[in-house]
Structure 1
């Protein structure tokens, strides 16, 4: 009888150990929502990030990616991660400016005019964004900019006044405010809906990157692209903090390391896309127009107004960021 009890105890202990090992080595069933198509360089970077995670964790962490807003549209992705509908998400950070004005600083036109300035602003803003995300139960993993943007129109834009009266597609608080300041009628349109919005006359102008123009085949609805370096808005990729902290320490470390690699790779991809995607627009028949001095002077004037307005909303944190950036 004693032998039987010892045998049962040993068997139970072995089963318990096996269960613990099984749980430790089990694959985390993470879902990842992004609003962009597979052709977009941000999505290609996300897929490389997932591949790095899978390799680093021996396949125990291999998130399922849902592209093009098929699982959650972009306005719902951040809340979806906070609530655990998905564990990972990617958003255009400035699209959440209504939630917190600090998220929209990179959407101020002409505040930054090249990739080096965009990197400086991102590095200075990162601690503020991380703190806000932490309070909301999510952890920032990495940020990558879009290439500099320009105007898509069917007639030349030789001055800021040429935009007056247009029906302008907007995608965040800043583009909405810009449209209002230049006398255009702003209309919020998500990236996936751009071709239909132009085709139905809902909009007839927009300002966005060449990458989005290629994604949406802008040559089908616009004749002229005028690159002006309007903004270098950033995408943020983040994870539900509870899901991240539930992972073993080595896997948490793998997530952070893969994210750092993705950020470096993403910036290189953005710089490459700035040239290659604009070239595709030209190859498909669009006129690539040179921005006139009058247009750029008008842009600078609007930018100064928008910086001042943003500072009134962003409080002490915003003033500290802008002062550090301009130092």
Structure 2
């Protein structure tokens, strides 16, 4: 009954939007996260620039559609737009895995270069599935949260590690841990009930989930810098007049610029909050870095083997 009610609700939203140019945009993260704040600004700019002719309602925190279901909802036109963590599409095509590969890009400068290298391939695959790429917002670098200090991978052997994409599941395997899929809202309970004992994620996610309540150590391995992307249903976009389409594209451009400009500041602020709340924030040992870099090399090789042409093109554009 609950599923039927949800389906009817989404169907009703979509049909109403087609008449009134009122779009609905589900996002997976709460209002305190930078990508969600950027999404609100994106919607507000479009409403202002179109004098209300296109009004986008942002539904944050998975309140309308669960994270893993957002891509399908956009593809089928149940909602007109949506925000997703890019890596969750990894099983659909390997180009979506580019920013979940450890140590391929560990600084914001390199992450931006990698995104420019990957964007044509990502855009092409989204287009094939009925979606259009609007913009991307980077997360802070992903680092290690644990209850006990970790100086080498053997310290984690056998632990249950949170996974949130195909690439992070493979990483957990290579680290000698057990991958366990847990979405952001469920992190605190998963730690408190022993479902997971460790995770690699951003300082922002740590603050959002109040990591200090269930772990004490944050080891700054800065393994990779992932992104959220905002996509739109191609048919819904095409139904807009040219002037409104341009307003959406302009707002998307501004949103992406804002995201890259603010992510480093947000990363520093959230790191400081972890320290303020008593977490032990430390640099990784040389041993741990070398072990993780070796895993990164393995994952790059495996990634390229999945589609030598497409992945090879991304790597060539990233490392000319």
TM bin, normalised by shorter chain, reads: over 0.9
Distance in 2, Cα, partners of 1:264 & 1:131: 22
CA contact (8 A) 2:27 2:61 kept: yes
TM-score, normalised with respect to structure 1: 0.91
After superposition, give the CA deviation of every residue in 1:249-275 in whole Å (9 maximum; x if it has no partner).
100000000000000001112111110
CA contact (8 A) 2:153 2:176 kept: no
In the alignment, what sits opposite 1:45? 38
- Alignment length (residue pairs): 302
CA contact (8 A) 2:192 2:214 kept: yes
Superposition misfits of 4+ residues, deviation over 4 angstroms: none
Distance in 2, Cα, partners of 1:118 & 1:175: 17
Residues 1:58 and 2:71 are matched in the alignment: no
Q: Which structure 2 residues correspond to residues 228-243 of structure 1 after superposition, within 5 A?
A: 228-243=221-236
Residues 1:176 and 2:169 are matched in the alignment: yes
Distance in 1, Cα, partners of 2:113 & 2:22: 36
Residues 1:94 and 2:87 are matched in the alignment: yes
After superposition, give the CA deviation of every residue in 1:21-55 in whole Å (9 maximum; x if it has no partner).
xxxxx741211000000011110010011111111
Q: Structure 1 regions of 5+ residues with no counterpart?
A: 1-25
TM-score, normalised with respect to structure 2: 0.93
Report which of the two structures shows the higher radius of gyration computed on alpha carbons.
Answer: 1
In the alignment, what sits opposite 1:157? 150
Greater displacement, 290-299 / 248-257 = 290-299
Q: Structure 2 regions of 5+ residues with no counterpart?
A: 1-18
Residues 1:204 and 2:197 are matched in the alignment: yes
CA contact (8 A) 1:178 1:302 kept: yes
| Equivalent of 2:69 in 76, 92, 95 | 76
**Deviation of 1:326 (Å):** 2.0
In the alignment, what sits opposite 2:244? 251
CA contact (8 A) 1:180 1:186 kept: yes
Distance in 1, Cα, partners of 2:308 & 2:286: 33
After superposition, give the CA deviation of every residue in 1:116-169 in whole Å (9 maximum; x if it has no partner).
110111001111111111111111000111100110001111122222111100
**Deviation of 1:286 (Å):** 0.6
**Deviation of 1:324 (Å):** 2.4
Distance in 2, Cα, partners of 1:256 & 1:323: 28
In the alignment, what sits opposite 1:13? none
In the alignment, what sits opposite 1:34? 27
Q: Secondary structure at the match of 1:91?
A: strand
Q: Secondary structure at the match of 1:175?
A: helix
Greater displacement, 148-157 / 317-326 = 317-326
